[in-house]
Structure 1
Amino acid sequence: MNKLSAVLFDFDGTLIDSERFYFEAWGPILSQDFQLEITFDDWIASFAGHTLQRNVQFLKSNYGIETTDEHMWKRTREAYADQDLLSIQLMPFAGELISYLAENHIQIGLVTSNFKGVVSEILKNHKLYNYFNFFVTREDVQEPKPKPECYLRAQELCHVPASEILVIEDTVTGASAALAANLTCFGVSKHAAERSRLAKSVPLFDDLQQVYKELAESGY
């Protein structure tokens, strides 16, 4: 990458440390409704980074669980409402990296399978919302990650060549979407299962501080 004009962040697991929050909602539902017990490692390996619709299909095909998108939507929204969304913390060094990009006049976008309301609430709570030039959320696409639609849309909003855009993702689902859109992608994850998958296709970093150092040392 000879020039960096825009950085596109994934949200859950990349900018915010939210996977434990989602697991603590889904785990009891799967146990109570379907007698399926999963661990946090199971969540990371098989569910994290995917849409509700995909996870419903995964439950059907891998566990023989007959449920519906509507049922899981209702149950998970109830569970999320009982939790404190604003308790979700930023990933380490997220704020510093975003500040660095803004100071260097690099566009900052968010590309997520989550919903705009959730994104807005959490980013505003952490005083980061106004740093972003644009958002591409679940409402904006017909086909979510791993399809490239979200990143193709983001590239249009950047108004710069694909070669000047960097994507930061924490799952192979998101990385696959970025690569399918012909964008450069860095993988950042602390989870062994996801790191193993990411390492097969993208440069892998331990955390956002390593990404910051990479960009700073490269002169961006």
Structure 2
Amino acid sequence: MKDLKAVFFDFDGTLVDSERFYFEAWKPILKYHFSIDLDFETWIQHFAGHTLARNLLTMKELWDVEVKEEFMWKTTRENYAQQDMLSIPLMPHARELIHFLVEQDIQIGLVTSNFRPTVDRMLTHYDLHEHFSWFVTREDVVNPKPNPSCYEKALQLSGFSKEEVVAIEDTATGARAAIDAGLKCIAVTKQKAERDRLDFATYLFSDLKEVNAILR
């Protein structure tokens, strides 16, 4: 990709294969407290890539269930702790892509709706933290994705122009934030529900190996 100076990665579902992890944490809570049988397809279609606040609105829309954010925050994090987030694997070809970018002297940033302690812990666990030059996490913005402010902040931190940066995302929520910030966006997912919503992305691929090829 000509004149590429930096790549901004999303985190969940893009660099780490975490959607199944989150689904497995939410499923028993919805079943026990609300008698809702959540399946993975519904999770991907309606919940993946969104903040807790947005997911609570989705519960109201889908099942007419109202629940306080404090309750879901506490119960989901209890389940996350029981499962151990360090068991979440990297997405296939993520490590190879990051090492390629480092070799090419292309700088790397992270733009995520996840929280900084989680990001730091997991990237350190996989020996990748040192390769990231900038981080924009949930604590850094008032309005999360799909609002473009997270990518606008990342651009300011990087010092590069929009034409010199590409974003990599796995959901329409994240891709919309990148596109609305004026960036090219490579969407990467095998999930049909997401692929159907990502026709506006600059590129749409099934895995990060394909991304590696186009960036060469």
TM-score of the aligned structures, taking structure 1 as reference length: 0.96
The equivalent residue for 2:138 is: 138
The equivalent residue for 2:93 is: 93
* Counterpart secondary structure, 2:97: helix
* Counterpart secondary structure, 2:197: helix
| 1:8 to 2:15 alignment | no
| 1:193 to 2:166 alignment | no
Instruction: Answer yes or no: is the 8 Å Cα contact 1:175–1:202 preserved in 2.
Output: no
* Counterpart secondary structure, 1:197: coil
Instruction: Answer yes or no: is the 8 Å Cα contact 2:145–2:174 preserved in 1.
Output: yes
Quote the Cα distance in structure 2 between the aligned partners of 1:27 and 1:193. Answer: 19
Given residue 173 of structure 2, which amino acid in structure 1 is its aligned partner? T
Aligned length: 216
The equivalent residue for 2:174 is: 174
* Residues 201 and 99 (structure 1), Cα distance of their counterparts in 2 relative to 1, 3 Å cut: closer
Q: Offset of 1:66 from its aligned partner? A: 1.1
Given residue 120 of structure 2, which amino acid in structure 1 is its aligned partner? S
The equivalent residue for 1:110 is: 110
Instruction: Answer yes or no: is the 8 Å Cα contact 1:15–1:91 preserved in 2.
Output: yes
The equivalent residue for 2:55 is: 55
**CA root-mean-square deviation:** 0.9
The equivalent residue for 2:164 is: 164
Quote the Cα distance in structure 2 between the aligned partners of 1:202 and 1:192. Answer: 18
TM-score of the aligned structures, taking structure 2 as reference length: 0.98
Instruction: Answer yes or no: is the 8 Å Cα contact 2:186–2:201 preserved in 1.
Output: no
Instruction: Answer yes or no: is the 8 Å Cα contact 1:5–1:107 preserved in 2.
Output: yes
Given residue 150 of structure 2, which amino acid in structure 1 is its aligned partner? C
* Counterpart secondary structure, 1:38: coil
Q: Offset of 1:114 from its aligned partner? A: 0.3
1:140-189 superposed Cα distances (whole Å, 9 cap, x missing partner): 00000000010000000110111110000000000000011000000000
* Counterpart secondary structure, 1:41: helix
Quote the Cα distance in structure 1 between the aligned partners of 2:24 and 2:83. Answer: 9
Instruction: Answer yes or no: is the 8 Å Cα contact 1:10–1:112 preserved in 2.
Output: yes
Q: Offset of 1:60 from its aligned partner? A: 1.2
* Counterpart secondary structure, 1:95: helix
* Counterpart secondary structure, 1:198: coil
Q: Counterparts in 2 of 1:30-41, with a 5 A limit?
A: 30-41=30-41
Quote the Cα distance in structure 1 between the aligned partners of 2:63 and 2:12. Answer: 25
Given residue 213 of structure 2, which amino acid in structure 1 is its aligned partner? K
Q: Offset of 1:63 from its aligned partner? A: 1.2
Unaligned runs of 5+ in 1: none
Quote the Cα distance in structure 1 between the aligned partners of 2:202 and 2:50. Answer: 19
The equivalent residue for 1:123 is: 123
Unaligned runs of 5+ in 2: none
